[in-house]
């Protein structure tokens, strides 16, 4: 059993495959909260701060999540969606933190079916969940977008950087890349040192950097600094197309 907060057909907005038509499954729940990212939202009159997809992270929203305990039913739904689309798009499994469910039998059955259908799967993950790739071999065929959190997330380093999990992903997966969310302040302080420390664990992976922001306005505050940071350090700049086009709208 696992939880979905939404599923939709759109275009990948960030990272290596930005611009590619993709079908999204967004799971509910995360092992991080990232209060430093500064997205604000209200729960019972209380202002909270954190992830820009707070509705998929904060358990206060769990009552609106959909429980998935029948893999066959979700697979049939996806087949119908693909028939409507007219082709099998890339799949993006995001969250929250989707790999919290990696050992769940229902979740793994869906992933295994997608692999058998030769559909490219990208996991958007914070890279903190250690996977047994021998026991769950379908994950070896997936792309892992490692959205590792830096100091600006507000999470302690010991919680957001798990070397053994990262080494396993780097060793066993079809493809993986590093993706960092950076603001203008971090560019001027610890960003390069933090990224270089992580690259000592995964030295061969390409690095994408994108601006912090849950809205067009907040992205505009950080994009130029991140753009110049990438030029200086030979990293790849990733914009956030879905936010540029749709601002704060969910399900796009």
pLDDT digits 0-9 by tens, 60-69: 889 999 999 9
Q: What is the pLDDT, as a whole number, of residue 49? A: 61
Q: What is the pLDDT, as a whole number, of residue 66? A: 97
Task: For the chain, give every domain's residue range.
Answer: 2-31+59-246
Q: CA-CA distances (angstroms) from residue 147 to 30, 84, 201?
A: 13, 31, 15
Q: What is the pLDDT, as a whole number, of residue 242? A: 72
pLDDT at 32 over 80: yes
Q: For the beta carbon of residue 12, count every other beta carbon within 10 angstroms.
A: 22
Q: What is the pLDDT, as a whole number, of residue 60? A: 84
Residue pair 22/92 in contact (Cβ under 8 Å)? The answer is yes
Using pLDDT thresholds of 50, 70 and 90, give the confidence band for residue 245: confident
Residues 6+ apart with CB under 8 A from 185: 152
CA distance 102 to 111: 9
Residue pair 176/148 in contact (Cβ under 8 Å)? The answer is no
Q: Identify the CATH homologous superfamily for domain 2-31+59-246.
A: Aldolase class I (3.20.20.70)
CA distance 70 to 2: 10
pLDDT at 114 over 80: yes
Cα 204–Cα 206–Cα 212 angle in degrees, nearest 5? 135
Q: Packing angle between helix 105-116 and helix 71-85, nearest 10 degrees?
A: 30
Residue pair 100/125 in contact (Cβ under 8 Å)? The answer is no
> How many Cα neighbours within 13 Å face the side chain of 39?
18
Q: What is the pLDDT, as a whole number, of residue 137? A: 98
What is the dihedral sign for C-alpha 138, 104, 124, 233? negative
Q: Which of 41-45, 53-57, 181-185 has the lowest mean pLDDT?
A: 41-45
pLDDT digits 0-9 by tens, 190-241: 999 999 999 999 999 999 999 987 778 888 889 999 999 999 999 999 998 8
Of 194, 172, 173, 175, nearest to 183 by C-alpha is 194
Residues 6+ apart with CB under 8 A from 17: 90, 122, 143
Residue pair 209/184 in contact (Cβ under 8 Å)? The answer is no
231 in helix, strand or coil?
Answer: helix
């Amino acid at each position: 059993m696992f939880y979905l907060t939404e599923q939709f057909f759109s275009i990948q907005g960030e990272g290596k495959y930005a611009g590619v038509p993709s079908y999204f499954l967004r799971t509910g729940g995360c092992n991080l909260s990232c209060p430093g990212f500064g997205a604000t939202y209200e729960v019972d009159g209380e202002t909270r701060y954190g992830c820009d997809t707070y509705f998929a992270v904060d358990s206060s929203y769990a009552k609106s999540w959909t429980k998935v305990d029948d893999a066959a039913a979700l697979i049939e739904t996806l087949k119908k969606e693909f028939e409507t689309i007219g082709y099998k798009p890339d799949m993006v499994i995001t969250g929250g933190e989707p790999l919290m469910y990696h050992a769940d039998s229902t979740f793994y059955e869906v992933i295994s079916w997608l692999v058998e259908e030769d559909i490219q799967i990208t996991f958007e993950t914070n890279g903190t969940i250690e996977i047994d790739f021998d026991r769950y071999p379908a994950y070896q065929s997936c792309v892992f977008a490692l959205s590792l959190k830096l100091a600006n997330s507000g999470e302690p380093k010991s919680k957001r950087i798990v070397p053994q999990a990262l080494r396993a992903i780097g060793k066993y997966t079809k493809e993986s890349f590093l993706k960092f969310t950076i603001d203008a302040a971090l560019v001027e302080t610890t960003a390069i040192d933090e990224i270089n420390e992580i690259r000592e664990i995964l030295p061969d992976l390409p690095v994408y950097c994108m601006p912090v922001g849950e809205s067009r306005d907040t992205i505009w505050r950080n994009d130029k600094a991140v753009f110049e940071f990438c030029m200086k350090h030979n990293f790849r700049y990733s914009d956030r197309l879905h936010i540029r086009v749709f601002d704060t709208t969910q399900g796009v």
